[in-house]
Structure formats: C-alpha cells, structure tokens
Amino acid sequence: MDRIDQKILDLLQADATLAIAAIAEKVGLSVAPCWRRIKKLEDEGVICRRVALVDRRKVNVPMTLFVSVRTTRHAIEWVEHFRKVIADVPEIVEVWRLTGDIDYLLRIVVPDIDAYDAVYKRLIERVELADVSSAIAMEELKYTTAVPTGYIKPSRR
C-alpha cells in the first residue's frame, strides 16, 4: 500500500458511496487504475465491507450503555457459547474481550432503561456470568467508524 491507497481508504471511510470516477479524480488517477486499487484492497481484506451508518436516535435507540462483564469460566466452550448468545442480541453492537479485572466490555444501544433490562435478562438467562456492571453514556463526545490510515507502512508496487 502507498499514499494513494491511504487516500482512497480515507475517502471511502468518509463516504463509501463515492463514485470511482470521483475517487480517481481526488487521488490523481484515471478510473481503471483506481478501480483496480479498490478491488485489490477488497481482495486483500483491507476493505472488509461497505455499510450504511444509521443515526441511532432516528431509529429510536438513543441510549448507549457500556456493560462490563466478568466470568468465572474461561474455557473455550464457554467463550463459543457466549459468542453465539451475543450474536443473537441485536442491541449488543460491540463486544470486546479485555485484559485486567473486566473480562468483556459490551456496548448496547436501546430506546430506554426498560429495554436494557429486557436485554440484561435475556443475557443472564442464556449465559452464566459472575458480575455485570452497567454504565449509561451521558453524552457522545466523539464517534467514528474510520480508522487512522497514517500508520500504513508503504510497500513497493
């Protein structure tokens, strides 16, 4: 990858609906080479998928909670069961396995506290957890899905 690939990634992260011609113009390429670069980034898995980002407030899930989970079980079969359970809960939009005192951190979006309580009950009904602690997000100061591309190590083409 090089600086042109970096620019392409930055443009697509900002707006994945950009026409290839528009991207090509912005990065100083003609359409065919630009398309080939994008295709290569997709084939190599650098571009994983293209999605529509939805304003959660406009679809009535304005509340974000961060839920810390601890477990006493650290067996592979427990983790696989946990993966299946969280995959079936659409309100759980992110889950991270952590080091330290907390085993997992979940980000959950819901309309209100009653909806969160229902998610919580579904979760504890299906998977054994040692401790669950929730924090309600009061204000979103920054949110982005774009990853920084400034760390890309140039490769020779």
Question: Which tens digits make up the pLDDT trace of 114-150?
Answer: 999 999 999 999 999 999 999 999 999 999 999 999 9
80-122, pLDDT tens digit by residue? 999 999 999 999 999 999 999 999 999 999 999 999 999 999 9
DSSP type of residue 108:
E
- pLDDT at position 154 is 81
Domain boundaries, the chain: 3-43, 56-136
Measure the CA–CA gap between 55 and 61, rounded to whole angstroms: 9
| Angle subtended at Cα 62 by Cα 59 and Cα 131, rounded to the nearest 5 degrees | 125
Q: Which CATH architecture has domain 3-43?
A: Orthogonal Bundle (1.10)
Measure the CA–CA gap between 27 and 21, rounded to whole angstroms: 10
pLDDT band at residue 155 using 50, 70 and 90 as cut-offs: confident
Say if domain 56-136 classifies as CATH 3.30.70.920: yes
Measure the CA–CA gap between 113 and 68, rounded to whole angstroms: 16
* 64-79 average pLDDT score: 95
Joined together, the tokens standing for residue 43 give 């084939």
Give percent of the chain with pLDDT exceeding 90: 95
The pTM (predicted TM-score) of the whole model is: 0.88
- In a 13 Å sphere around the CA of 64, the CA atoms on its Cβ side amount to 15
30-60, pLDDT tens digit by residue? 999 999 999 999 999 999 999 999 999 999 9
Cα distances (angstroms) measured from residue 97 to each of 69, 105, 140: 9, 7, 22
